[in-house]
Amino acid sequence: MKTVVQKFGGTSLNSRETRLQAAAQVKACLESGYAPVVVVSALGRRGEPYATDTLLELLQKEELPVSDRESDLLLSCGEIIAAVLMSGTLQSQGMPARAFTGTQAGIFTSAEFGSACIREIDPVLISETITRGLIPVVAGFQGCTATGEITTLGRGGTDTTAVALAVALQAERVEIYSDVCGIMTADPKLLPEARIITRLAYEEAFELSHQGARVIHPRAVELARAAGLPIHLRSTFQKEGPSTIIHHFHSDRPIIGVVKRDEIAFISIIPNTASDYATGVKVFQLLASRAVSVDFIDIRPDEITFIITRSQLQQVDSLLKENGFQYTLSTEFVMISVVGAGMTGLPGVMTRIVECLRKEGITIHQTTDSHHSISCLIRQPQEKPALLALHKEFDL
C-alpha cells in the first residue's frame, strides 16, 4: 500500500472539534487506498496552554537559568501531547493509531539545541506499525542526537519532519494541512483580492516561503525538491476547493506572488574610516559566532547594512555595543518581495517594480535580487499600498 504523510498544524489540533476535522482528512486518505502517516505540531498558538510559544514563556516569566538543552526538553512536550491526543481522536473514529515521539520514530539530528538539523531517519518502527494496520502519529519538530539528547528543529520544524519522514518512507506525497488552503498571491489579510496559487515550482515555493509566506517552511521545500516529492498544501476544514501543489512545474509567468517580511530590524554599521571598512565587515563573523542570521546585505566603503529578525534585536544591539561598533538600528522598515521563476533572464522586471512604486510615492531604500525574486526595503506605513500596487502591476 502506498504511503501519504499528512502534517497538521497547531490550529488544526487545538480543540476536539478541529481534531475531528483533521481525523476526517485522515479517514479520506485511508479510504482512498493509502496508508496515512500523521505528523503533528503543538496545539494552537501563543497563549493556548500547550503551544510552543506558551511553553517558552514559562521559562521567560520565571527568568530561570535553563540551558538550551533543557529548553528543548520542555518544548518537545507540546508535540508529544498533540500526538497522543490525535492518536486517541483517530481511535475514537474507528481508526487504530499509535503515537510516537520523534526519537521513537527514528529521527536523528545534529546537536544544535533549538535549531538542530535532521541527519538520518531510521523508519523501521514506523514501517512496522503501518504493516500492522495502525496509523503512526508522529510528534514533529523534534528528534534526538546519537547520544540520546532530545533536540528541536526550530521554527517550522514540523514541516521538515513531515517531508524528511516522507522521503525516508518513500511516500507518494506530503499533505500539509493548516487553516488556509495554500499559498496565495499576497497576504489576504491585507489584500482581500489575493487568490490561491494552485501550481508552484519548488523554486517559487522556496522563495515565497523564505521571503515571508508562512504556509510552509523553506527547509521542507528544499528537502522535497531534492527528492522530487510532491507537496500538497490544503485546509483542514475544506474537503473541496482550490489548493496549492508544489512540484517540478515549469512557470512562464514573470511574477506569481508578492510577499512581505515585517518582523525585521534594519542595521547600519559605520566603519571607523571611509577607506578601511574591515572594522565593519568583521561584524558578520561576530554575528555568525552567535548563530545570528543576516539578510539583505549591502557592503560599501562608507556603510554596511543588513537586516535581522526582530526577535534577535536585543541580542544584536548588546553585541554591537559590547564590541564598540558605531551603528544605527531601526524597526520602521518592511521588506516587500516579488517572486516568480519566469523572471529569470527577463529584462524589464526591475524597471516595472521601481516605476510602479514611484507612481505611488513609495521610496525604495534598498534592493536585492536572486534568480527568482526581487526585494525592496520600504517604510512600514507604505506596506499595504506597495503590496496592492505590485499586485495590480503584475495582474496577480
pLDDT, tens digit (0-9, with 9 covering 90-100), for 115-156: 899 999 999 999 999 999 999 999 999 999 999 999 999 888
Q: Could you tell me if 85 and 14 are in contact, meaning their C-beta atoms sit under 8 angstroms apart? A: no
The reply to whether 242 falls in a domain is no
Q: How confident is the model at residue 17 (pLDDT cuts 50, 70, 90)?
A: very high
The reply to whether 164 falls in a domain is yes
The reply to whether 29 falls in a domain is yes
- What residue numbers bound the domain in which 42 lies? 3-179
Quickly count: other Cβ atoms within 10 Å of residue 84's Cβ: 14
| Angstrom distance (rounded) from CA 91 to CA 87 | 6
pLDDT at 21 > cutoff 90: yes
Residue 9, domain CATH:
3.40.1160.10
| Angstrom distance (rounded) from CA 183 to CA 231 | 12
pLDDT at 337: 94
pLDDT at 58: 87
Q: Cα dihedral sign for 154, 157, 160, 164? A: positive
| Angstrom distance (rounded) from CA 98 to CA 252 | 45
pLDDT at 276 > cutoff 70: no
The reply to whether 245 falls in a domain is no
The reply to whether 168 falls in a domain is yes
The reply to whether 34 falls in a domain is yes
Q: How confident is the model at residue 274 (pLDDT cuts 50, 70, 90)?
A: low
Quickly count: other Cβ atoms within 10 Å of residue 124's Cβ: 11
pLDDT at 252 > cutoff 80: no
| Angstrom distance (rounded) from CA 80 to CA 342 | 42
Q: What is the pLDDT of residues 200-243, one digit of tens each?
A: 999 999 999 988 888 899 999 999 999 999 999 999 998 888 89
What is the 8-class DSSP label of residue 369? E
Q: Could you tell me if 116 and 110 are in contact, meaning their C-beta atoms sit under 8 angstroms apart? A: yes
Q: Could you tell me if 376 and 360 are in contact, meaning their C-beta atoms sit under 8 angstroms apart? A: no
pLDDT at 247: 95
Query: How many folded domains does the chain comprise?
Result: 1
Query: Which amino acid does the sequence have at 154?
Result: G
Q: Cα dihedral sign for 30, 35, 41, 42? A: positive
Inter-axis angle of helices 218-227 and 202-210, nearest 10: 170
The reply to whether 24 falls in a domain is yes
Going across the sheet that includes 150-152, the strands are 118-121, 107-109, 142-144, 150-152
Residue 251: phi and psi, rounded to 5, are -115, 130
CA distances to 16, 36, 131, 228, 270 from 1, rounded to whole Å, are 30, 10, 9, 20, 61
Lookup: cell for 20: 475531528
Q: Which of 340, 371, 378 is nearest to 356 (CA)?
A: 378
Neighbour-count burial of 290, counting CB atoms closer than 10 A to its CB (0-12 exposed, 13-18 middle, 19+ buried): exposed
**Helix, coil or strand: residue 287:** helix
15-40: b or e for each residue (b if 16 or more CB lie within 10 Å)? Answer: eeebbebbbebbbebbeeebbbbbbb
pLDDT at 259 > cutoff 60: yes
Q: Could you tell me if 154 and 143 are in contact, meaning their C-beta atoms sit under 8 angstroms apart? A: no
Neighbour-count burial of 59, counting CB atoms closer than 10 A to its CB (0-12 exposed, 13-18 middle, 19+ buried): middle
Q: Could you tell me if 140 and 157 are in contact, meaning their C-beta atoms sit under 8 angstroms apart? A: yes
The reply to whether 329 falls in a domain is no
Q: What is the pLDDT of residues 334-354, one digit of tens each?
A: 999 999 988 877 788 999 999
| Angstrom distance (rounded) from CA 351 to CA 357 | 10
Lookup: cell for 323: 564590541
| Angstrom distance (rounded) from CA 258 to CA 187 | 8
In this prediction the pTM is 0.90
Q: Could you tell me if 93 and 133 are in contact, meaning their C-beta atoms sit under 8 angstroms apart? A: no
Helix (H) or strand (E) holding 91: helix 68-92
Higher pLDDT residue, 389 or 52? 389
